[in-house]
């Protein structure tokens, strides 16, 4: 039987026990938990009003406010609920790259996903898994329970990266299938069409998900630390480019820096939490910093 000990050391699990995986916005889970949720109902504490939109139930209109203002407002109520955590991994061939890092990009993302799943399970939250390349290869909807966790870990441990990337195609189909809002933690090297990625992220946000996008890179992909004339081979298409690294290094660093700045700016406009993770670091150190900063921001 697979267990978290197949991915995480006992010390890592002890450290994770003191962390909280939360959402910046409302959770919409299936059972009682520790996360704040805005729900339409009368059995929980009144929280606030919001504007009526077509399709809302008239049962929750505040007629007293309408009598004073002649405007329609919906009552909102707050209760504690569980969080649905969706872990989304890019498993295209480029994620199998390792040069200056301790592990491959996919191995880093897989361990990070295992840690997030451990936290969700520890909090009695639901966790789901999506593995994709140019299409969704594995999809386990967010659930709880030991049997589901076992299936989650088996799927996480057995999949190997390969194929081309098409994040837009895979993720837009995925967003359509995630009916209830939750936390989406996506891990990818983002070596893909940026506009397709942004369209998919916007789709998640329209659905009300709190999205964290982690760009996983080997340090060599930032620095280009090669000497002399080298063959650069695309791991997904086998295309080759011969170049003197020293001559192109500055232009390359400017180009990848601009690409990262572009992702950061567009994610900011979408209210998507964008982070860079390099594979020379420990996934647990990265997760600790991520959750500490999100806690300061109210997640």
Domain boundaries, the chain: 4-26+82-296, 35-81
pLDDT at residue 55, as a whole number: 58
pTM for this prediction: 0.81
Q: Could you tell me which of 297, 257, 279 has the C-alpha nearest to residue 97?
A: 279
- CB neighbours of residue 2 within 10 Å: 16
Please state which of the ranges 8-22, 49-63, 148-162 shows the lowest mean pLDDT.
49-63
Pick the residue with more confidence: 2 or 283?
283
Alpha-carbon distances of 214 from 155, 230, 273, rounded to whole Å: 21, 29, 8
- Residue pair 23/50 in contact (Cβ under 8 Å)? The answer is no
Q: Could you tell me which of 153, 159, 279 has the C-alpha nearest to residue 223?
A: 279
pLDDT digits (tens, 9 = 90+) for 3-48: 899 899 999 999 898 888 888 765 554 444 455 444 444 444 545 5
> Please, is 27 exposed, middle or buried when counting C-beta atoms within 10 Å of its C-beta (0-12, 13-18, 19+)?
buried
Please give the mean pLDDT across all residues of the chain: 85
- Taking 80 as the threshold, does the pLDDT of residue 217 lie above it? yes
β-bridge partners, 210: 183
Class of domain 4-26+82-296: alpha beta
């Amino acid at each position: 039987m697979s267990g978290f000990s197949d991915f995480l050391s006992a010390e890592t699990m002890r450290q994770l026990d003191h962390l909280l995986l939360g959402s910046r916005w409302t959770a919409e889970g299936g059972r009682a938990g520790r996360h704040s949720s805005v729900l339409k109902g009368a059995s929980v504490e009144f929280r606030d009003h919001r504007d009526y939109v077509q399709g809302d139930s008239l049962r929750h209109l505040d007629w007293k406010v309408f009598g004073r203002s002649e405007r329609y407002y919906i009552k909102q109520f707050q209760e504690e609920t569980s969080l649905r955590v969706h872990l989304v991994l890019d498993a295209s061939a480029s994620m199998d790259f390792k040069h200056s890092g301790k592990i491959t990009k996919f191995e880093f993302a897989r361990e990070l996903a295992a840690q997030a799943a451990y936290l969700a399970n520890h909090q009695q939250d639901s966790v789901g898994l999506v593995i994709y390349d140019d299409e969704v290869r594995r999809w386990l909807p967010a659930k709880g329970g030991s049997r589901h966790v076992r299936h989650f870990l088996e799927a996480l441990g057995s999949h190997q990266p390969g194929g081309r990337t098409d994040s837009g195609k895979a993720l837009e189909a995925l967003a359509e299938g995630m009916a209830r809002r939750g936390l989406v933690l996506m891990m990818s090297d983002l070596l893909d069409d940026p506009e397709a990625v942004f369209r998919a992220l916007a789709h998640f946000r329209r659905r009300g998900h709190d999205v964290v996008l982690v760009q996983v890179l080997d340090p060599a992909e930032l620095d280009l630390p090669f000497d002399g004339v080298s063959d650069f081979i695309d791991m997904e298409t086998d295309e080759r480019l011969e170049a003197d690294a020293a001559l192109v290094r500055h232009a390359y660093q400017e180009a990848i820096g601009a690409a990262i700045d572009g992702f950061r700016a567009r994610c900011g406009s979408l209210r998507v939490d964008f982070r860079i993770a390099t594979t020379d670091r420990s996934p647990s150190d990265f997760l600790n910093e991520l959750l500490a900063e999100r806690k300061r921001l109210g997640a």
